[in-house]
Amino acid sequence: MTEYRSVLGSAENTIIIKKSRFITHIHHVESVEEAEKILEDTRSRYWDASHNCYAYSIGRINPLLKSSDDGEPKGTAGMPMLDVLIKTGITDILAIVTRYFGGTLLGANGLVRAYSQSVKEALNQSERVIFTPMDIFCLDIPFTLLGKLQYSFEKMPVFIEKTEYGTEAVMSVSCAKKYSDTFIKEVISLTFGKVSPQLIGENYRPVPEEKES
């Protein structure tokens, strides 16, 4: 598992260039089927638009790349949109730009700039994150040590997934893989060996990407 850049949820942005309206939607997607369903819904919603162009990058290693000009001159919409996605390093993402023609031709270069700008501005509106690989640990914690560990975890790069209570507390904790060894050692040290985290799985957790100032 390796970390990768993507977005959370969806984002929307609209720009107007020479009376043409470009409505851009950005979506987090994890499969071609999911992307195709969103495309179908978008085409139905904007059935009267001049064009519904799109680009997507799906997959974390050697991502599947696809784009469509949807009737615009070849290479003036889909590929410029896809180029923006590739240059940002973002994957598991679908960008759709819906155009309502305003009556003035933009020319090939003008279209490339318009579609590129549309995606860039929509990405600025989206919540960009880094999906970080995490190890999931299970901890059996005596109640006498629960408060101490909860307080300590607030200062560590970990996330408490859930806590169940019985004769003792059973806690599931996610920790970034690169900190897992340190986390295990710290828990054992803090509890004098009474609690030893047991690895039970792995997942990804989105961490906000720091924006350039």
pLDDT at residue 213 in the model: 39
pLDDT in tens, 112-157: 999 999 999 999 999 999 999 999 999 999 999 999 999 999 988 8
Q: Domain segments of the chain: what residues?
A: 4-125, 132-208
| Cβ atoms of residues 59 and 18 within 8 Å | no
Site of tokens 């690169």: 178
Residue 156, CA distances (Å) to 124, 177, 190 in order: 30, 13, 13
pLDDT in tens, 49-92: 999 999 999 998 889 999 999 999 999 999 999 999 999 999 99
Segments in 48-206 forming alpha helices (H): 78-88, 107-125, 143-153, 180-190
User: What is d(CA 64, CA 32) in angstroms, rounded to the nearest whole number?
Assistant: 9
Q: Which CATH number fits domain 4-125: 3.40.50.2300, 3.30.230.30, 3.90.1150.10, 3.30.2350.10?
A: 3.30.230.30
DSSP reduced 3-state for 178: helix
- Termini Cα distance of the chain: 30
pLDDT at residue 212 in the model: 47
pLDDT at residue 211 in the model: 53
Site of tokens 């307080």: 151
User: 212: which DSSP letter?
Assistant: P
pLDDT at residue 2 in the model: 82
Strands 198-208 and 10-17: unpaired
| pLDDT class of 210 with cuts at 50, 70, 90 | low
132 φ, ψ (degrees, to nearest 5): -100, 130
Tally the C-alpha atoms within 13 A of residue 201's C-alpha that lie toward its C-beta: 7
DSSP 1-46: ---EEEEESEEEEEEEETTEEEEEEEEE-SSHHHHHHHHHHHHHHT
24 φ, ψ (degrees, to nearest 5): -110, 135
Q: Which CATH architecture has domain 132-208?
A: 2-Layer Sandwich (3.30)
Residue 111 CB neighbours (<10 A): 23
pLDDT at residue 180 in the model: 94
For residue 211, give the nearest of 109, 127, 120 by alpha carbon.
127
